[in-house]
Structure 1
Amino acid sequence: MWLAYPGLFLVLAGDAVRYSIGWGGWSVAVVLLTVASIYALAVSKPVELIRTMPTALMLLLGWMMLSLTWSSYLGTSFMMIGLQLSTTLFALFLASQFSWRQLLNILSNLIRFILATSLVFELLASITGPVIPLFPNFEGDTVPYAAYYWSQGLLFEGGRIQGIVGNANLLAFTAVLGALLFLVEAIVTSKKRLIPVISLGLAILLAFLSQSASMTLAVVIIGFVAVIAILAEGRSRQVRHQIYWGAGAIAGLAVASIVINLSAVFDFLGKSPDASGRFLIWSEVWTLILQKPGFGWGWIGYWVPGVAPYEGLIVMNGVPMYQAHNAYLDIFMQLGVVGLGLLVWLLAVTFVRLWTVAVRHTNPLYLFPLFIFLVITAQSISESRLLIEAGWVLLVLLAVKSAGPFAELEPLGRTGKRSRLAGNFRLRPRARI
């Protein structure tokens, strides 16, 4: 626990750390996290853990390191590969040290703290005015554009709030992730459900106030998948396949309808027809992909300021972009078609394993890893954060943890998830005195 909480805060609320103690302080924190992760792994059973690592993950990490041989920014690639290995080691530490139930508790507690402090932070910002980072990410004494504020203090004005994470999209991601974890927590806990229920309300409120279209879409997808997973549990192979085919047909029709009515969908979600400028970003990134489609420009993860060809590539409303806002285009650009293929392979293998556990196990606890996977993959369509910080840590954690033997999970119950869920939400008569 001594490492899990500060480490997860560092990756989930990285901007809060950088705004508070600067990039130098953040770098020191990353080094300490790396050293602590190595120590924790060394005293456990690292050989057994390495054996459970998915082949796709090991090949992807190897391809990142191999990209040093053709990188267009060798020094930066070397530094960013080091950072990638650091977050990977931390994810391996989490996978090796904690059970799924412990991970649910740790993630729920930390996200509860982030959301609660974010609401207080936004309340104060709305009263005192916009908040400038203690270590600003701009030059001069005047904030050049509103996007450079830690918080714009728009809570009472109906604008998007940013929370302590400093970004409305990241706050929405954290809130939706928290809502799903709190829901599972409320269902599986044997203690009083008041805290998970209040936390669920807080998460829904902040998800609404952060106004993220991608997370709205994620909630719809997760709700649909959860229903399918619960319906498929305990069914024969033939019936499960019938459910899957039916679900696939519904999903296909939904996607076709969205594509046909794209402008109307963006309007409903409160976005411009070009997805808030993302189509322009993707067009520029695609131009770079076509220049080096086979191997890419070299691994960088974050688009580090001052590094060509990213510096000044895309500037929107005076704010430079430092990601492709799509994880698949970003990795295609950095690691070529091979890197993209390895990422897709890793995602596919992880999804199949998580789905198998979620459907076959009777405990609703094992729905939450699948929910996390769906949140980070939904976010990957409009953000590149699947490749860095929290997105990467959660992906590696899920990929490695799900590769463990089924026998290591909690024992199967006598009743299935449908019965347990019905029992949780059924009104119970008061006991007679």
Structure 2
Amino acid sequence: MMLSASDPALPAPARVQPVVDAAPSPPGRIRLAVLVIFTSLGGDAWQSLLGWPAFIVLVAALSAACVVSLVRSHAANPLPLSRYSKPLIAFLVLCTLSIIWSQYPSATVLGVVSQWLTAIAGVFVAISLSWVEILRALGTALRWLLGLSLLFEFFVAAIVRHQVGAPWLLDPWNRPPGDYQWSEGNLFNGGAIQGIVGNRNLLAFLVLLALIVFTIELIEKTRPMVTSVIWIGVALLEHALTRSATVLLATAGVAFVMVVVLVVRRVPVAKRLIIYPFGFLGLIGLIAVTLNLSDQLFPLLHRGDNLTGRVAIWNTVLNLAWQHPVLGWGWVSYWAPWVEPFKNLIVINGTVYLQAHNAWIDVFLQLGLVGLFVFSCLIAATGVRAWWMAVDPPLQPLHTPQAARGASGRRGPTSALVGRPTPYQAIALLPLLVLAALVIQSLTESRLIVEGNFLLLVLLATKVKLDPLPLGPPPRSMR
């Protein structure tokens, strides 16, 4: 249990020291961060609109820009390797080393390159922006994603008036399967909408992230209140229109985590150990209720009670994973459908599936038990830091700190200071709630290890290690 700085028995903080408020980042760097987040979270939209070749060029250009920015930041303010998340480094190194024992080396090379590019982008956002700027960048990117999705669905339903198929992502000369449509034009007929990402579960998860971000923005008043309220309304509307059962359950899980945090915040530090068992029991109860209600809930949303075939997919992948249980088959991120064993491994209604629909099972398949352990350490380390950031009272320095340029090049820790508690900030909930959403979704989707979700994981793992406490003047005073 971590002690509070307000404990009279504690003469000085026994935790990460406070940081001073940051100077604003250059506008160009913030715009690049917004575009990186938009592209990573909305990668399926770019792929459907431009096709894979143009999407790869776009990713390469953004990655190059991130590398240039990181090199300049490092030249101005070198960051020791010890300041990065060690489990994150271990996971990336293990992915890279798997080229040695991979059953499909060429595909592993592609997967490793993709993983490193995504990680670089996440580190760029974490190092370049403050927590408030990350909140605003996420908010801007998610507004574009949700706004364009609603406009796209309106255009298809009102103007086109029939299904719109995206260019076939892997073979542009053949038509995609009948159940693979960019939009089914369901906005006015009561069906589920898919948005510009072409999948209702992916759009619903973006909505869940948006609800977290927009609500924190509303509380912290980092945007005009009317704007925040309108966009929360848009997010709730799209949540209802996606009719995603898995994200509905994820929303309940995130809400439960938030309630537990708010309760723990009101409990004195010395008595918090009493609360934690009840929190775990509540989580188990929530899972049990979810499983018991799935027979009734999923059919109401036109979903099967077996998570739309995911159980069969998991069984198939697990049987394959146990053939190489220690180090796995080799990293590949998205499955490469042109190599064994992924070639036609999972085909449902003519659609070739390129993931296990469970990030943990996918990691086990690709990196074995060793990879599963390292990945679990990454989630656990990030989760613990995010938890303390959410529940510990922030500290305000008792005297003006000496200027100290930090690892991010924008701010840094002060010398040993005695701090006094200040009111909680809503932004301190951001890492924990986003991580909770990512982890809950990872149970039914493998997105946590690819593209936007992995970028968010890298962003959180890096930022909570470098800058774990958003101290200084509360964001509400920064208007």
Task: Tell me by how many angstroms 1:255 deviates.
Answer: 2.7
For residues 297 and 192 of structure 2, the distance between their equivalents in structure 1, rounded to whole angstroms, comes to: 19
For residues 95 and 237 of structure 1, the distance between their equivalents in structure 2, rounded to whole angstroms, comes to: 30
Tell me the secondary structure at the aligned position of residue 284 of structure 1: helix
Tell me the secondary structure at the aligned position of residue 68 of structure 1: coil
Aligned CA distance change for structure 1 residues 304 and 191 (closer, same or farther; 3 Å)? closer
Task: Tell me by how many angstroms 1:348 deviates.
Answer: 0.8
Deviations 1:43-92 (A, max 9, x none): 11374163221211111111101100110110111111011100100101
Task: Tell me by how many angstroms 1:303 deviates.
Answer: 0.7
Residue pairs, 1:24-423, within 5 angstroms: 24-45=53-74, 47-48=78-79, 50-127=81-158, 128=160, 129-134=162-167, 137=170, 143-147=176-180, 149-189=181-221, 191-233=223-265, 235-259=267-291, 263-264=295-296, 266-267=298-299, 270-360=302-392, 361=394, 362-406=424-468, 409-411=470-472
RMSD over equivalenced CA pairs, Å: 2.0
Aligned CA distance change for structure 1 residues 405 and 109 (closer, same or farther; 3 Å)? closer
8 Å CA contact 2:52, 2:169 repeated in 1: no
Question: If the length of structure 1 is used for normalisation, what is the TM-score?
Answer: 0.90
Moved more, 212-221 or 392-401: 212-221
Aligned CA distance change for structure 1 residues 140 and 49 (closer, same or farther; 3 Å)? same
Tell me the secondary structure at the aligned position of residue 402 of structure 1: helix
Amino acid at match of 1:38: V
For residues 275 and 133 of structure 2, the distance between their equivalents in structure 1, rounded to whole angstroms, comes to: 32
Tell me the secondary structure at the aligned position of residue 43 of structure 1: helix
8 Å CA contact 2:168, 2:176 repeated in 1: no
8 Å CA contact 1:53, 1:403 repeated in 2: yes
Structure 2 unaligned segments of length 5 or more: list them: 1-29, 395-423
**Corresponding position: 1:15 with 2:36:** no
Task: Tell me by how many angstroms 1:264 deviates.
Answer: 4.1
Task: Tell me by how many angstroms 1:22 deviates.
Answer: 1.5
8 Å CA contact 1:285, 1:324 repeated in 2: yes
For residues 170 and 359 of structure 2, the distance between their equivalents in structure 1, rounded to whole angstroms, comes to: 24
Amino acid at match of 1:104: L
For residues 120 and 250 of structure 2, the distance between their equivalents in structure 1, rounded to whole angstroms, comes to: 28
Tell me the secondary structure at the aligned position of residue 369 of structure 1: helix
For residues 412 and 59 of structure 1, the distance between their equivalents in structure 2, rounded to whole angstroms, comes to: 35
For residues 379 and 256 of structure 1, the distance between their equivalents in structure 2, rounded to whole angstroms, comes to: 17
For residues 396 and 27 of structure 1, the distance between their equivalents in structure 2, rounded to whole angstroms, comes to: 21
Tell me the secondary structure at the aligned position of residue 313 of structure 1: coil
For residues 41 and 190 of structure 1, the distance between their equivalents in structure 2, rounded to whole angstroms, comes to: 27
Aligned CA distance change for structure 1 residues 200 and 310 (closer, same or farther; 3 Å)? same
Tell me the secondary structure at the aligned position of residue 197 of structure 2: coil
Structure with higher RCO (Cα < 8 A, 6+ apart): 2
Aligned CA distance change for structure 1 residues 400 and 144 (closer, same or farther; 3 Å)? closer
8 Å CA contact 1:363, 1:412 repeated in 2: no
Moved more, 111-120 or 12-21: 12-21
Amino acid at match of 1:397: L
Tell me the secondary structure at the aligned position of residue 154 of structure 1: coil
Amino acid at match of 1:309: P
Deviations 1:148-180 (A, max 9, x none): x21111111211111111111110010111011
For residues 249 and 144 of structure 1, the distance between their equivalents in structure 2, rounded to whole angstroms, comes to: 44
Aligned CA distance change for structure 1 residues 387 and 18 (closer, same or farther; 3 Å)? same
Equivalent in the alignment of 1:427: none
1 or 2, which has the higher helix percentage?
A: 1
Moved more, 259-268 or 81-90: 259-268
For residues 454 and 101 of structure 2, the distance between their equivalents in structure 1, rounded to whole angstroms, comes to: 23
Question: If the length of structure 2 is used for normalisation, what is the TM-score?
Answer: 0.82
For residues 160 and 316 of structure 1, the distance between their equivalents in structure 2, rounded to whole angstroms, comes to: 20
Equivalent in the alignment of 1:424: none
Aligned CA distance change for structure 1 residues 192 and 239 (closer, same or farther; 3 Å)? same
The percentage of counterpart residues that share the same residue type is 34
Aligned CA distance change for structure 1 residues 41 and 191 (closer, same or farther; 3 Å)? closer
8 Å CA contact 1:325, 1:381 repeated in 2: yes
For residues 74 and 296 of structure 1, the distance between their equivalents in structure 2, rounded to whole angstroms, comes to: 13
The number of residue pairs the alignment matches comes to 413
For residues 39 and 312 of structure 1, the distance between their equivalents in structure 2, rounded to whole angstroms, comes to: 40
Task: Tell me by how many angstroms 1:13 deviates.
Answer: 0.8
Structure 1 unaligned segments of length 5 or more: list them: 421-433
Aligned CA distance change for structure 1 residues 393 and 136 (closer, same or farther; 3 Å)? closer
Task: Tell me by how many angstroms 1:37 deviates.
Answer: 1.2
Deviations 1:231-281 (A, max 9, x none): 211532332222222222222233334445653454466431221000110
For residues 337 and 225 of structure 1, the distance between their equivalents in structure 2, rounded to whole angstroms, comes to: 28
